[in-house]
């Protein structure tokens, strides 16, 4: 099953449109202390065990630094637990910042 990905531009449009969605940061604590896009944080290593904290009734955009970890996490949650409302942020926080916050440091 292919991993659903979403571009930073599409997520930004969701924000502009007021679409109800969650933005989940799965990076490690030391990365999050440098930069963040949301307060919703579950480290990748804990995502499967803490899956009940992830909403199922709205889209959830999962992001990491560059997109690899978020894609793996989305794949695991979809395959093992049947979550169907997940997206991996294409290019992660690095791609987001390149477009929307070029001066922001990326952790």
Give the C-alpha separation, 66 to 4, whole Å.
15
Adjacency order of strands within the sheet including 5-6: 5-6, 86-89, 60-63, 22-25
Residues 88, 74 contacting (CB under 8 angstroms) = yes
DSSP 102: T
Pairing relationship of beta strands 22-25 and 5-6 according to DSSP bridges: unpaired
Which residue out of 26, 32, 54, 64 is catalytically annotated? 64
Look up 64 and say whether it is catalytic: yes
Catalytic residues: 64
């Amino acid at each position: 099953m292919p991993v659903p990905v979403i571009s930073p531009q599409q997520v930004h449009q969701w924000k502009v449109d007021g679409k109800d969605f969650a933005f989940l940061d799965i990076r490690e604590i030391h990365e999050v202390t440098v930069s963040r896009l949301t307060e919703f944080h579950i480290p990748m290593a804990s995502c499967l065990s803490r899956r009940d904290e992830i909403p199922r009734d709205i889209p959830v955009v999962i992001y990491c630094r560059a997109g690899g970890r978020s894609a793996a996490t989305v794949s695991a949650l979809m395959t093992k637990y049947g979550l169907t409302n997940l997206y991996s942020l294409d290019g992660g926080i690095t791609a987001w910042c390149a477009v929307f916050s070029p001066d922001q440091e990326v952790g």
